[in-house]
Chains A and B, each alone.
Chain A
């Protein structure tokens, strides 16, 4: 992420980066090299998003880097009114996906980010899970004139998958059913499905949603597997008019109070490869 952003700042004088007092060490060279355009702005997300909108309405592409819940939820009205309503573009890159910051508690969790941003018409919601995928999506979207959310995780997939913006990638073809998977869940799903006769479709964007990729599997059972709140894609599935059985393996919609490591949480929420395998198998054998 840092490399792609740094390259854009270096190449394009009409770009600006605001850090919400996070990533200061990672971007230390940019802060020194481009002091007029790269700022550690401090901790005031709503005001920061509005100021970024002022840049955008002046022809400058803003990039804001902060923590997921404080960008998506604390500054939601600013994203809605200062970018969507003004019809202007900007880039919002976050750290702290879902419960990545597991020891910090509910205040720092954000499994609802994708569901929340899907309520903003025209807002791109991107879920890369490797640095290479971020670079691909960032190059495609950073200057396309619409607001784009880049949900970054600390738990990148080890499987590097080359992707195209807005397109799901077929990872494996099978007959028993289809697993649609998002973000850092891919590694777990690949592990879980190694001996299962299922197709795996890997998505790196929630908006745009690749309806066409799923449409050709509508006669098969579908598993939705993602690290967001359950129900995040209900509207998309309804839009498709899905007529086969569906199972959702995701983060339950409840207040998570248990701390522990990310791995502890995966076990607690039955999101480990073993648990996912069992859940998929049980679903597939149901009549």
Chain B
């Protein structure tokens, strides 16, 4: 199976799981999928076996609403059992809308949920790596809407001041913020805050891999242009899918749309 077919397969799996768990942020998850896939497939120096070693690369999901996409990617990597995904959102499950790191034995670095937390924590991890002379790089996925949070810019001030060239912030830029505030101009602001800025197509895995592997001698922000609900016509066109799950009746149509995309 090539990577495009794999992405289709994972999108259909997310639709099915969302139906089973009766909850979902499918638009966000579809937006982030290729980024997460690229991270765990040659983007990072990471294996399940080396996850507890301090030298490996680390990943923090700051935009917690993309957790289901992360879970299907980790399952595809073999780090989570596929049948466990069926427990999505069930009582006492460890697979839910947002991740709880205490249930994952090092596989998930940071519990998520409230926006504006993961990235500053990732900055602390990068600073710790510098302090201890660990070679590992820290990657973190944030949302463009999340960039409205003040803590993001607080942490950027620190990352630039300490010249943390071992952190890469990937912005899943699915045009959320422009619906709320005008004049955001993220590239200009990120650059002004001391970050090297890379612009990529956030659904192009090859472009993402290449950007993830580039080191810029300073903190890096990859602006990944994405589309909410990418890969499924209904999810791309209907804003109500930001937070809802598909009914049994809707499944065939959504699967078909993914196949035909």
Please state if B155 and A50 are interface contacts (CB–CB under 8 Å): yes
Please tell me if A176 contacts chain B, counting CB pairs below 8 Å.
no
Most buried by A among B100, B128, B130, B131: B128
A202 to B229, CA, bound (A): 60
CB interface residues, B 106-163, toward A, < 8 Å: 109-111, 113-114, 117, 120-132, 150-151, 154-155, 157-158
Query: Within the complex, which residue of B122, B123, B131, B150 is in contact with A46, where a contact is CB–CB below 8 Å?
Result: B150
- In the complex formed, the residue of A with least CB distance to B130 is A36
Please tell me if B76 contacts chain A, counting CB pairs below 8 Å.
no
A118 to B131, CA, bound (A): 33
Please state if A55 and B124 are interface contacts (CB–CB under 8 Å): yes
Please state if A54 and B122 are interface contacts (CB–CB under 8 Å): yes
Find chain A residues with CB under 8 A from B132 CB.
14, 58-60
Please state if B111 and A50 are interface contacts (CB–CB under 8 Å): no
Please state if B124 and A51 are interface contacts (CB–CB under 8 Å): yes
Please tell me if A81 contacts chain B, counting CB pairs below 8 Å.
yes
Please state if B120 and A47 are interface contacts (CB–CB under 8 Å): yes
Find chain A residues with CB under 8 A from B127 CB.
51, 54-55
Given contacts A46-B151, A47-B155, contact A57 B125 (CB under 8 A): yes
Find chain B residues with CB under 8 A from A258 CB.
none
Given contacts A54-B122, A59-B54, A85-B111, contact A47 B158 (CB under 8 A): yes
Interface size class of A (residues with CB under 8 A): 20 to 34
Please state if B121 and A36 are interface contacts (CB–CB under 8 Å): no
- In the complex formed, the residue of B with least CB distance to A16 is B131
Please tell me if A42 contacts chain B, counting CB pairs below 8 Å.
yes
Please tell me if A77 contacts chain B, counting CB pairs below 8 Å.
yes
Please tell me if B101 contacts chain A, counting CB pairs below 8 Å.
yes
Please state if A82 and B157 are interface contacts (CB–CB under 8 Å): no
- In the complex formed, the residue of A with least CB distance to B150 is A46
A216 to chain B, nearest CB (A): 37
Please tell me if A86 contacts chain B, counting CB pairs below 8 Å.
yes
Please tell me if B102 contacts chain A, counting CB pairs below 8 Å.
yes
Query: Within the complex, which residue of A16, A52, A55, A86 is in contact with B101, where a contact is CB–CB below 8 Å?
Result: A86
A46 to B155, CA, bound (A): 9
Find chain B residues with CB under 8 A from A77 CB.
114, 117
Find chain A residues with CB under 8 A from B131 CB.
16, 36-37, 55, 60
Please state if A58 and B111 are interface contacts (CB–CB under 8 Å): no
Please state if B102 and A87 are interface contacts (CB–CB under 8 Å): yes
A81 to B62, CA, bound (A): 12
Please tell me if A78 contacts chain B, counting CB pairs below 8 Å.
yes
Please state if A54 and B121 are interface contacts (CB–CB under 8 Å): yes
Please tell me if A53 contacts chain B, counting CB pairs below 8 Å.
yes
Please state if A50 and B124 are interface contacts (CB–CB under 8 Å): yes
Please state if B114 and A50 are interface contacts (CB–CB under 8 Å): no
Please state if B102 and A78 are interface contacts (CB–CB under 8 Å): no
Given contacts A78-B117, A81-B117, contact A51 B158 (CB under 8 A): yes
Please tell me if A44 contacts chain B, counting CB pairs below 8 Å.
yes
- In the complex formed, the residue of A with least CB distance to B131 is A36
Please state if A46 and B154 are interface contacts (CB–CB under 8 Å): yes
Please tell me if A41 contacts chain B, counting CB pairs below 8 Å.
yes
Please state if A60 and B151 are interface contacts (CB–CB under 8 Å): no
Given contacts A44-B157, A51-B155, contact A81 B113 (CB under 8 A): yes
Find chain A residues with CB under 8 A from B125 CB.
54-55, 57-58
B106 to chain A, nearest CB (A): 10
Find chain B residues with CB under 8 A from A47 CB.
120, 150-151, 154-155, 157-158
A241 to B111, CA, bound (A): 37
Please state if A44 and B128 are interface contacts (CB–CB under 8 Å): no
Find chain B residues with CB under 8 A from A60 CB.
128, 131-132
Please state if B128 and A82 are interface contacts (CB–CB under 8 Å): no
Find chain B residues with CB under 8 A from A46 CB.
120, 150-151, 154
Chain B residues in the interface with A (C-beta under 8 A): 54, 100-102, 109-111, 113-114, 117, 120-132, 150-151, 154-155, 157-158
7 contacts between A and B (CB under 8 A): A36-B131, A44-B151, A44-B158, A46-B150, A46-B151, A53-B120, A54-B126
